Amino acid sequence: MSLVTINKIEQGMVLGEDLKDRDDRFLLPSGTNLTARHIKMLKMWGVIEANIEGIAQEDVEDNAISKIDPATIEMAEKIVRGRFRYSNTDHPAIQVLFRFCTLQKAREMQSDNPKQNAEFHDRSENNVETIELPELKSAKIDFNKLIQRHILKLPTLPMIFSRINKTILKPDSSADEIGRIISKDTSLSARLLKIVNSAFYGFPSRIDSISRAVAIIGTKPLSSLASGVTVVDMFKNVPSDIVNMKSFWKHSIACGVNARLIASYQGIQNTERLFLSGLLHDIGRLVLYNYAPDHSAYALAKVKRTNVMLSKVEYEDLDFDHAEIGGLLLKKWKLPVLIEHAVTYHHSPQKSQYLLEAAIVHLADIMANAAGIGSSGECFVPPLDLDAWECMGLSTNILDLTIKQANHHIEEIFKFFCSNEN
């Protein structure tokens, strides 16, 4: 008997023990011979895994691997191992991600139509890129001067958000009142309605007005989505020779979608705040790319030449990293402290007073990097913080399941959030 993830459970398998949901409510008894109807119900109930008699999860993985040419598997493993060079592949969670990403890469290599947005590269010792480091035109960046010259001068979020927040705080505010405020921005309203009517939300009937969206989704979640759409629009002038913005936002959206799904498994009500935290987790890099292009180009070249993580290069050459810059920017914008902390500490969640939320974004970022969906400049999978993993109390089976669920939505969400991107 072994735990098998829901997407690998098939008709005819037999439950090895009573099945309960996340709230410990009884669902099905031990010995149930699972039918297609059972499996559909389990997915609707949000079941992640089940103990199955007479089968091991390794058997399922071996079956998947057996369908791929061994030489392809070997090459895929080599490429993926290079990306995981700073991760502890002995940890059960990282083992699952490594195995999943190896299979994903092998299938992509074997396919006649390989995935176009994957950022997998061979990062092995024998494939270090021989690239010259550009000359810096100025000395090391002064952190305080960067803040004074640029972050403090960055525009605040539009007045509409101040009005929304003030209205939300009023005890007698209504969905119609908040809906009227948002509806005054027709472009924002149209994009929000497309998002809430997407398959990502899966509402059974169409939501045709902002006031109805507020009533169904909630004021704070819709405000989070509106903030995300606006921030994407604010960063349109980052030098294209430093970063591919479509790739940047795909990575950010992947992190946001992962964070929202993980938050839902944790029973968090306002999952949009985790989506926004994931979406903005690397926003500090855009500040650096935009206002310190020479140092940014140098750092990115150094990463490719030395196979060192970008966040480490930032500390070595700047004495601070993108997460600190991002947190300061969100503080200036007066976004909720929880979101500010999740961004500031997404590489060191144990330092945050909101450990769970920072841990969720930390894991979501690792998963997005592992899957190779877009890139903010980082070439490697960040190491997993053990305290963060323990804090979440997740099953490892949630990892590949979440990535697969996220993959169904990332392109669609990207289209709605980045519809004005060139």
pLDDT tens for each residue of 268-292? 888 999 999 999 999 999 988 888 8
CB within 8 Å of 312: residues ≥ 6 apart: none
Size (the chain), residues? 422
63 contact partners, CB below 8 Å, separation of at least 6: none
Strand-pair category, 2-5 with 26-28: unpaired
Number of folded domains in the chain? 4
**Pair (54, 152) in one structural domain:** no
Does residue 396 sit in the same domain as residue 339? yes
Q: What is residue 410's three-state secondary structure?
A: helix
> Which burial class, exposed, middle or buried, applies to 165 when counting CB atoms under 10 A from its CB (0-12, 13-18, 19+)?
middle
Whether residues 33 and 89 share a domain: the answer is no
CATH number for the domain that contains residue 269:
1.10.3210.10
Give the pLDDT score at 277. 96
Stated pTM of the model: 0.82
- How high is the pLDDT of residue 422? 40
* Res 152 pLDDT > 60: yes
Q: Are 11 and 39 in contact (CB under 8 A)?
A: yes
Return the pLDDT at 116.
Answer: 45
51: enclosing H helix or E strand: strand 49-52
**What tokens does 72 get?**
């392809």
Low-confidence winner among 121-130, 200-209, 211-220 (lowest mean pLDDT)? 121-130
Q: Which residues contact 89 (CB under 8 A, 6 or more apart)?
A: 81, 95, 98
Residues 402 and 257 in one domain: yes
**Amino acid at the residue 43:** K
Share of the chain above pLDDT 90, in %: 32
Last residue of a domain, one of 218, 234, 250: 234
More confident site: 5 or 222: 222
- Residue that terminates a domain, selected from 180, 210, 234: 234
Exposure string of 175-211, with b = 16+ CB inside 10 Å and e = fewer, is beebbebbeebeebbebbbebbbeebeeeeeebeebb
Band the pLDDT of 92: cuts 50, 70, 90.
very high
Supply the mean pLDDT for the chain.
84
Domain that holds residue 25: 2-58
Question: In the predicted model, is pLDDT for residue 294 greater than 50?
Answer: yes
Q: Which of 173, 200, 234 lies at the terminal end of a domain, its last residue?
A: 234
